[in-house]
Structure 1
Amino acid sequence: MSPQQRLPDLASVYRELYRAKFRADVRDGAATPFVVPLHLLAYWIVPTLYLTIPHRNRPWLYHARWLVLGFVCAFNWYLVRHVRSISFASSYGVGLLGAWTTIWTFTLLIWTRPQWDARRVERREIMRHVDEVGNRQEIGQSPTSSQNGRLSKLNIDKPNDQSSTLLRNCGTRLQLESHDSPSVTVTRRVQRNGDEVANGVRKKEAHTIKDIGDETEDSLLARSIVALNDSDGNPPLDQNMALELSRLTQEREYEYYWQEYPADASFWTRLGWAFDLVSSFRLTGWNWAPSCLPPYNPPPRIGQYQLPLEYGPHRSRRGYERTLSRAKLIIFRWVFNIIPSYIILDICATLMTMDPYFIIGPEHNHPLPTHLALLHPILLSLQRTTLAFVAIVIALQYALNFGAVLLALYCPPILGFRAHPWHLPSPTGSFTQVLDHGLSGFWGAWWHQTFRFGFSAPTKWLIRHGYVPPPQRSGGVGGAIITPLIGAIIAFALSGLVHGAGSYTSVPATYYWGPPLFFAFSGLGMISQSVFLHLLRHRTEKLPRWVCRLANLTFVILWLWATSWLLLDDFGRSGLWLWEPVPISFARAAGLGVDRYVWRYHRDSLPRWQWGARGRWWETGIVV
């Protein structure tokens, strides 16, 4: 028998102890199981229904948002105080849900005015009719002389390989973004030397399309595309590529537009708009989408034509990228994200069951296994921090990518365009942001930005109402230092509140002040490094790039290592590491770990149906 097999199975013992404590708390009335849909009342149901009712012209109804907010706060207070789950991750998630719902409701009802300012990109089919000579025409537009039948129909949801490749290649060159301007007007005139000018930009002979025959609408549109491309300083387009793009533009099946709050539309239209807003934490497809994501705007127009959705940049400067092919998104994320994450997460979870630190927390009095007892305390701390960090990152990648695949695969019949891959960029940015900007790049660009808008909304409200100066204001200390400082303090305080609430709702006893302190130190480290680099910017500019990157990475590693115990110790106390992340453990099948049970899901950890007891019909639902 190997030393690993002789280790006590502490993980299974403490799982049963925590489950027994949960059942005892429910029996004694000290805790209530988490039930869907009851405990989503403040998260989805009430805010969505309130935003469904038009209130722009009803001041009394707009002021009633304070009543809605009061209900949400009271409900979430009850949720955090009394609701728990037999699943360790779900019990931690109860606190996350209660705290985040409060922050998000403040964002939608107080810090912003969605019915006035929010708008999303929506699409509608283009209505066409066939003229006498067999050409398709858009209703309300003048007849065209182009031969639209030369190409097969372009389906935006499922682009064919040829059109997808073409438009992706064009998108890397054509960095055109339509912001608030709904269309681009193209004018053509001829200079004395014979050079054509479009959009006020002279076209050199090398940049024009030659030998395209008569000036059909295809050629005119292609010339306009080339003119717009060159006017933005992009490399010149190939003649055939520009012509093909112009034809695909004319063959589009949908048009995209900004949809403001549809106050005059039907109840179901308003409900869909409000539900989308309440559910979209990253606000992809909305005018409030964070700037770190790829741009979310309707495709630009050239005269009466709107370019396809594939046109334009689909990778942001921070490294977030998206694909518009549903098949490519599903296959790529399964092969390169979900499957590797599953394997790594399984290994991490198995290794954690061999260390009492991850089972009970740092206060355990159990002997360490041989492979850990021989390590120096510094190396032991480094090993535990690395394992925990890898587990957290991979778990987030696994959950977010798996959710995106489920949306793209199963939800188009229900959500329509909202489940299009255009709305599903990568969950994290480029790691080069960490190398180039240190902790600022770690938290502000590389780390998932799911809660970014909610965390930054209070600061934007303060700026909008003149309480703090805008950060872009040149000169003075206020805009350059004080405003970013206030924004960082608020963002990290709210993040600490969310994770502290998760610690509080865990079944075992925890030190729920640990996570807020960790995020406070993270903000302090980010601000300190930013100020230090700002003061030494003249010296650092002379250093080689690799030296600066190595210094940033070293600072991030050392700072997180020195402060992360506040968060990781609390994860151990809360039993969060005891959660089974995968149903089938290939690591245990290969002989790793203490126990050898390959099927990991306990019956109590799976959702089940519950009928409301003692006449409490509202407690009927799915227990998670």
Structure 2
Amino acid sequence: MADHAFIRYERIVLDTHNRFHSLVQRGDAKPWLLWHALLPMILPISALLIPRRGSCWLIRPIIFAITLSISVETIQYRRGLLGANGYLVGLVAVWWLIWSSTLLFFNNIERDFRRIERMRSAGNKGATSQQDGHANCREYPRSAKPNNTDKLVWQPYPESFSHRLGWTLALVLNMRGPDFSFRISSLDPLPPQLIPGHTHATKKHSCPRAKARLRAAFVRLLVAYLAIDVLKLILIWDPYFFGTLSAPAPSPFDRLSTFPGLVRFYRSLASGLGVYFALQFVTAANPVFFLGLSLTFPNASRALTATPLDAPWLYADQFGPITAVLDKGLAGAWGTWWHQLFRFGFVSAAKWVLSFMPTAISSHRSTRRAITVFVAFGLSGLMHGMGSYTQLGDTRPVSGPFLFFILQALGIFIQEICCRVVVHQLKALGHSPPRWLRRTGNAAFVLGWLLLTGSGIADDFAKGGLWLTEPLPISPVRGLMGRGWLCWRTPWLEYYDDGTYWGSGVRII
């Protein structure tokens, strides 16, 4: 049985590779080149390096138009196997358009954004402040500082080009903004010496020390690695996850078929856990790499950047507390517990949309929130829908990912209305719902709503070949089973030349 499952899986992977190469050879698809992935990120950086003064304001719309054209061409024609059978091709292209719009148009970075930087000495402070406009310069307490001569300052958009380059790179690559003034609210609080009036909150939610945070991130990375390895084996066992949606559940999950809906529950749960641990693995690698290197090579990290890379508050967990689901229901699940990587971009887009609406509408709190929620989930649905579109499988981008995310916005308001009605009725009867009842109701609604709406996106993942990806280089589980330890057996990159300038370069396979 095990041999049959692995043989079937390896045949599907081989068939997918052959189909992809056949599409490229026939001209039905074009390969995804490395510059197609990097240029939409490099172009906005180059635009942000040029201050928006005088006629220079035209540069940003022109560069954005070039970025847009590259992204549209990528989504329409470019395909690859790396990144979940092409899922990242569309998702990344749309996200960089959203993020570029956020930084180029939706916000005024020169006027409103500040970056937290380390200033080495009081002697440098005066010169730097005069040139670059430092503000709110406050020292760390000596016990918290890795170097007693360090100070942290709020650095606005710098005047000097070399300083502006590092500032802009950090801005583009820090989507949650942990070291910027636009940082999202779910991050760790900043030191009280930097933010006046937040001393009490900072003491209440103290940040772990750097080494403790590094150990926690390493544990998350290891747990996610092992969980992905076990889940991958479960997925290989079940042909459903490779596009055969009508396939019966394999043993021992076939016993669930006697109870309606349990097979669907197990497959949806496995799909959700696969996404969750994949994100945990990727996001935990950030503090392991950057915090680990900055602690190991402190002098090199200080010479490389003004950002205090050894500060633990830069590396807050990507996922919030699970209690947010119990206390706030579906809104807490998506707004607090789930990762908030795209939050600032989505909220900025919503504010931009609201700016075009009449004041009577945009100033109404409930209306503003409703528009913000639907814009955020609509953009998330667009991103994931385009990821589905650029996969090689027979996907349904609209009825799968896009509908799933729109339904999450609808579910938030349905739950809030239901809770309001129930609480009102209980209070009318002289009862106030206890905390355990509210939490039980929230958990039940979230679980039920995700099961009700999640089958479409889970089926789309399976049909698109999302689970054909080999995310790990080495598989301890398969190695112990005698199926081989090494998972990455083919190169990721190769040089490709179609005879044209624009169609040649390093190809992402």
- The answer to whether TM tops 0.5 is yes
How has the CA–CA distance of structure 1 residues 181 and 75 changed in structure 2, closer, same or farther, with 3 Å as cutoff? closer
Match of 1:66 among 56, 61, 64: 61
1:246–1:517 CA distance, 2 compared to 1 (3 A)? closer
- Aligned partners of 1:330 and 1:409 also within 8 Å: yes
Say which one has the larger Rg: 1
Structure 2 counterpart SS, 1:584: coil
Provide structure 1 residue ranges, at least 5 long, that are not aligned to the other structure: 130-137, 141-179, 185-220, 222-243, 303-309
**1:560 aligned to 2:445?**
no
* SS of match in other structure, 2:447: helix
The one-letter code sitting in structure 2 at the alignment partner of 1:77 is: V
Aligned twin of 2:373: 488
Tell me which amino acid in the other structure corresponds to 2:277. I
Partner secondary structure for residue 97 of structure 2: helix
Q: Is the 8 A contact 1:38 1:621 kept in 2?
A: no
Cα deviation 1:374-420 (Å, max 9, x = unaligned) = 42241111111122222211111111101331222347364452633
Alignment partners' CA distance in 2, 1:312 and 1:552: 27
Match of 1:290 in 2: 184
Offset at 1:127?
3.9
Tell which deviates more after alignment, 380-389 or 367-376: 367-376
Aligned match of 1:123: 118
In structure 2, distance between residues paired with 1:122 and 1:367: 57
Partners of 1:359 and 1:578 within 8 A in 2: yes
Give the structure 2 partner of residue 529 of structure 1.
Answer: 415
Q: 2:323 maps to what in 1?
A: 432
Task: Name the structure 2 match of 1:328.
Answer: 212
What is the identity, as a one-letter code, of the residue corresponding to 1:334? F
SS across alignment from 2:88 = helix
The yes-or-no answer on 1:109 pairing with 2:63 is no
Q: Pick the aligned partner of 1:417 from 295, 302, 307.
A: 307
* Alignment correspondent of 1:98: 93
What is residue 483 of structure 2 aligned with on the other side?
596
- From 324, 328, 339, the counterpart of 1:448: 339
Aligned to 1:54: 51
What one-letter code is carried by the residue in structure 2 that aligns with 1:48? I
1:331-342 to structure 2, matched below 5 A, reads: 331-335=215-219, 337-342=220-225
Residue by residue over 1:53-106, the C-alpha shift from the partner in whole angstroms, topping out at 9 and shown as x without a partner, is: 111x31x22144222222221111011112221225261111111110111112
SS at match of 2:56: helix
Q: Which amino acid aligns with 2:27?
A: G
Identify the match of residue 375 of structure 1 among 256, 270, 289: 256
Q: Matched residues in 1 for 2:497 and 2:304: separation?
A: 29
Amino acid at match of 1:47: P
Matches within 5 A, 1:238-257: 252-257=148-153
In the TM superposition, residue 183 of structure 1 has moved relative to its aligned partner by 7.6
Residue in structure 2 matched with residue 225 of structure 1 by the alignment: none
1:564 is paired with a residue whose SS is helix
How far residue 286 of structure 1 moved from its aligned partner, in angstroms, is 0.9
Q: How far apart, in 2, do the equivalents of 1:99 and 1:301 lie?
A: 35
Post-superposition Cα deviations, 1:457-503, rounded to whole Å, max 9, x if no partner, equal: 122234566645698x7xxxx21x21111111101100000000100
Pairwise CA distance, 1:7: 4.3
Structure 1 Cα separation of the partners of residues 99 and 146 of structure 2: 41
**C-alpha spacing 1:575/1:182, structure 2 compared with 1 (3 Å):** same
Q: How far did 1:283 drift? A: 1.2
- Select the residue among 158, 162, 170 that pairs with 1:276: 170
Give the counterpart letter for 1:257 in structure 2. Answer: V
Give the Cα separation in 2 of the matches to 1:281 and 1:599: 33
Residue 597 to residue 249, structure 1, CA distance change in 2 (3 Å)? closer
Contact 2:47 2:59 in 1 (8 A): no
Contact 2:6 2:236 in 1 (8 A): no
Which residues of 2 match residues 155-304 of structure 1 at below 5 A? 182=136, 252-262=148-158, 264-265=159-160, 267-296=161-190, 299-300=193-194
> What SS is found at the alignment partner of 1:621?
strand
Question: Do the aligned partners of 1:345 and 1:395 also contact (CA within 8 Å) in 2?
Answer: yes
Q: TM-score, normalised by structure 1?
A: 0.71
Offset of residue 313 of structure 1: 2.3
Residues 1:28 and 2:23 are matched in the alignment: no
Measured on the aligned residues, the alpha-carbon RMSD in Å equals: 3.3
Quote the Cα distance in structure 1 between the aligned partners of 2:147 and 2:169: 32
Deviation at 1:373, TM superposition (A): 3.4
1: distance between equivalents of 2:314 and 2:352?
26
The one-character-per-residue Cα deviations of 1:162-202 (angstroms, maximum 9, x if unpaired) are xxxxxxxxxxxxxxxxxx99389xxxxxxxxxxxxxxxxxx
> What is aligned with 2:130?
none
TM-score normalised over the length of structure 2: 0.86
CA distance in 2, matches of 1:449, 1:37: 27
Distance in 1 (CA, whole Å) between partners of 2:305 and 2:32 is 26
1:567: how far off? 0.8
Structure 1 residues 4 and 123, CA, compared in 2 at 3 Å: closer, same or farther? same
Tell me, what secondary structure is at the counterpart of 1:182?
strand
SS in 2 for 1:290: coil
Measured after TM superposition, the shift of residue 261 of structure 1 is 0.8
Alignment check: 8 A CA contact 2:36 2:74 kept: no
Aligned length: 488
Given that 1:282 and 1:290 are in contact with CA atoms closer than 8 Å, whether structure 2 keeps it comes out as yes
Question: Larger % of helix: which?
Answer: 2
1:14 to 1:115, Cα distance in 2 relative to 1, 3 A:
same
Q: Percent identity?
A: 28
1:128–1:491: structure 2 CA closer, same or farther, 3 Å change rule?
A: closer
Moved more, 431-440 or 400-409: 400-409
Letter in 2 for 1:105: S
What's the secondary structure of 2:119's corresponding residue?
strand
Residue 509 of structure 1: SS of its match in structure 2? coil
Q: Decide whether the 8 Å contact of 1:299 with 1:312 is kept in 2.
A: no
Q: 1:612 to 1:4 in 2, by over 3 A?
A: closer
Q: Which runs of 5+ in 2 are unaligned?
A: 128-133, 295-300
